Structure 1
């Protein structure tokens, strides 16, 4: 990979150790009998504050109902993609393709971490249902907007809500962008992460710990073992090798050919 690029294969030992310790601390703080009541109280307070804002204003409820459908997840993914490969936003013209391939590699590692962690969750019986399923008096957006639920599947409940998969992807992207974005661009990127995590919390599909413990822990582990070791760079180089024969064809396509990510 070009030595002038900011994305390089390297062992970043302090960050690797620190991120793994932080991930262990997060899950330990939730599992420990000494600190579990703090998380339980935070769970209940956040749910009551966010879900309790529903049911009073149709426009407000409609906004979060739309943000809770599967189509919105696709739009969020498209926004993340555009912010990653847009030349000059965070990455330069020669960096956008390596950046995209690095993030895709991190997503693969996140999937691996999720599969392994899911086995632990099942084995130790850490799984739980959404607050909208467990708590009486929850506002169910799927009941308020049955047409949205029927056509698009409105995500406001789950019998297995831990950890938050949607949040883990957003948080991983946030960690990745935080390494390279600066100033107001960093602030915008982090705002996107926070705002896009909110719909599941407001709708009651997830507890706070599903996002702040489960989702963040998985993102920290994937980022630590991907970016803080040569692993993601090696995987990105492999993806680059697979993609290279297709670049001339893709570069000739209308509109797509202008994208820096496809330029050789």
Structure 2
């Protein structure tokens, strides 16, 4: 694996830079003069994305489908497919270590999310989502009540900050950016952007929930996962403890062909 990602040593400059950017983002959201700019951005972005939903046409149908909970699972599978497809971003030999390294970084993200959620609660930074605040906003659950009853659509949240959905997509895209080049890098960020849109169109999250809260959490997880030995050590340990299972699955006729298992 390229040493730019799986570090065996601490890289203090990028580690510090990630924390500095995360802090500046948070301060820009908390400081009243710049918070006004964020609030204007949030409102303008929501109106731009949400107003066409009123017509209940193709735009509304696309994002109604994208807001369904089962679609989130499909998005996750698609993201993993891009990561695990040999010679797309990673070579067959790299796939398993990359997968384990990403799991380690994702675990860090979840831990930071829990800690940050307590801070947000303590400091009373929480707020309801755009669909619950902006008058006359188009609610997908009301436009498609039968879909909501069957598929559990997400278009509102009483606690919208930070954007959990966006943070997962962003940490995946940031992680993949260490490896992806040319059109593959564009593919990664296009996927992350498109998959973030359903929550923003529906008003389940404000733009700053993603671009402040989501980016902040992703930067912290990226910093401690990829600019310290953590990802390297964790992926090494996971590969070692799962080796007996991997060898057994490798003997199966179909599963054994996957690069995650075969290492080819």
Structure 1 length-normalised TM: 0.96
Q: Is the 8 A contact 2:95 2:260 kept in 1?
A: yes
Q: Structure 1: how far apart are the matches of 2:12 and 2:176? A: 20
Matched with 2:170 is 171
Structure 2 runs not aligned, ≥5 long = none
Matched residue, 2:200: 201
TM-score w.r.t. structure 2 length? 0.96
2:222 counterpart residue number: 223
CA distance in structure 1 between the aligned counterparts of 2:209 and 2:99, rounded to whole angstroms:
27
Q: Which residue of 2 aligns with 1:116?
A: 115
Q: What aligned pairs does 1:74-93 form with structure 2 within 5 A after superposition?
A: 74-93=73-92
**TM-aligned CA distance change 1:258 to 1:59, over 3 Å:** same
User: What CA deviation, in whole Å up to 9, does each residue of 1:175-221 have, x standing for no partner?
Assistant: 01111111011001110000000000001100011100001100000
2:56–2:143 contact (8 Å) kept in structure 1: no
1:173-192 alignment runs, 5 A limit = 173-192=172-191
Residue 53 of structure 1: aligned partner: 52
Alpha-carbon RMSD = 1.5
The offset of 1:58, in angstroms, is: 2.1
Alignment partners' CA distance in 1, 2:3 and 2:208: 40
**1:163 is paired with a residue of what secondary structure?**
coil
> Number of residue pairs matched?
263
Q: Which moved more, 1:245-254 or 1:157-166?
A: 245-254
2:7 touches 2:227 (CA, 8 Å); kept in 1? no
The 1:3–1:144 alpha-carbon spacing in structure 2 relative to 1, beyond 3 Å, is closer
Q: Aligned-pair distance for 1:259?
A: 0.7
Q: Is the 8 A contact 1:8 1:233 kept in 2?
A: yes
Deviations 1:54-109 (CA, angstroms, capped at 9, x unpaired):
12242221110000011111111001101111101111111000000000000100
Counterpart of 2:213 in structure 1 is 214
Residue 95 of structure 1: SS of its match in structure 2?
Answer: helix
Are the equivalent residues in 2 in contact too, given 1:68–1:200 (CA < 8 A)? Answer: yes
**Does the 8 Å contact 2:131/2:139 carry over to 1?**
yes
The whole-number CA distance in structure 2 between the counterparts of 1:227 and 1:252 is 33
The alignment partner of 1:112 has SS state of: helix
Most deviating of 202-211 and 226-235 = 226-235
Matched, 1:138 2:130: no
Q: Is the 1:5–1:95 Cα contact (8 Å) retained in structure 2?
A: no
Greater alpha carbon shift after TM alignment, 80-89 vs 48-57 = 48-57
Question: Could you tell me how far 1:5 is from its partner in structure 2?
Answer: 9.6
Deviation at 1:249, TM superposition (A): 1.8
1:33 correspondence with 2:36: no
Deviation of 1:4 after TM superposition, in Å, equals 8.3
Q: Which runs of 5+ in 1 are unaligned?
A: none
What SS is found at the alignment partner of 1:136?
coil
Relative to structure 1, is the Cα distance of residues 6 and 130 closer, same or farther in structure 2, using a 3 angstrom cutoff? Answer: closer
Out of 12-21 and 246-255, give the one that drifted further.
246-255
Runs of at least 4 residues off by over 4 Å: 2-6
- Asked if structure 1 preserves the Cα contact closer than 8 Å seen for 2:163 and 2:214, the reply is yes
